[in-house]
Amino acid sequence: MVKLLTEDLPLTPQCVHFEKKEDVPHNIAKYWAQRYSIFSLYDEGILFTDDAWFGVTPEPIANQIAYDMSPIHTSKTVIIDCFGGIGGNSIAFALSGRWEHVVCVERDASTLACAQRNAKLYDVPPGVISFVHGDSFMLLELASKRPKKLPKKLRLSPDNTVIFASPPWGGPGYVSDSVFDLSGMQPYSLADLHGAYKCFDHALFLPRTSDLRQIADLVPDGNDKIEVVQYCMNGASKALVAYILGQAGEEVDVETGTE
């Protein structure tokens, strides 16, 4: 299922703005304490689902990634945020002014409703972000093989489109791994992601301890190198992003990524 939204989704009981520490579930408390680093406009009414606290990119890092991606891929004007969540990265891309069209894809309706609300709180101009309810792997498969099944705004091509993906990492347990095995990342492994994205220029937001050898193995010998950047806050690395050039002539392979 891939649906381009033409109006805001209804907010649900899962769309929450905590105002008092006493209301915050214990497992979220440490993230709530960092709420202004996650969204500087938190007090304006930023909405989260419980799961979003663990997955959203903090605003300073989202802004830096948007800045770092601005000078590259200069001929390309569309960026897909494949795991849009509550909108952290999509908002940063939209406000950077670099992209004519930001496509924010999210499978969970409550989470996507939060993203729509949060983008408005950041005064993202109408129409810059297209919110898509559905599976990003299915979107890419349709765009590659059956584009006429999609609205014109979603007929995306590697010629003008870049992918950003901040996939689930399988829960906070990754923190204890000295070297994180990307082949075991759940629910999508590094191979799943790269198989779906390899014909596009793409950036993967991954755990800070990710096995760099596994990332390097994504490109054949003699091809362009992969750039890997560590992103830090307050002197501590939070995550890394691997910037990978698309491989011309490759087809989208989403067999392991679809529902």
Tell whether 251 is covered by a domain. Answer: no
Domain encompassing residue 151: 2-244
Tell whether 198 is covered by a domain. Answer: yes
> How do residues 151-206 score in pLDDT, each as one tens digit?
999 999 999 999 999 999 876 655 667 899 999 999 999 999 999 999 999 999 99
Give the total number of structural domains in the chain: 1
Contacts of 171 (CB under 8 A, 6+ apart): 54
Tell whether 256 is covered by a domain. Answer: no
Whole-model pTM above 0.75? yes
Tell whether 218 is covered by a domain. Answer: yes
pLDDT per residue of the chain (259 residues) written in tens, 0 to 9:
899 999 999 999 999 999 999 999 999 999 999 999 999 999 999 999 999 999 999 999 999 999 999 988 889 999 999 999 999 999 999 999 999 999 999 999 999 999 999 999 999 999 999 999 999 999 999 999 999 999 999 999 999 999 999 999 876 655 667 899 999 999 999 999 999 999 999 999 999 999 999 999 998 776 678 999 999 998 999 999 999 999 875 666 665 444 3
- In the chain, the percentage of residues whose pLDDT exceeds 90 is 84
The count of C-alpha atoms lying within 13 angstroms of the C-alpha of 157, restricted to the half-sphere facing its C-beta, is: 8
CATH code assigned at 165: 3.40.50.150
Residue of 111, 145, 108 lying closest to 259 (CA atoms): 108
Tell whether 259 is covered by a domain. Answer: no
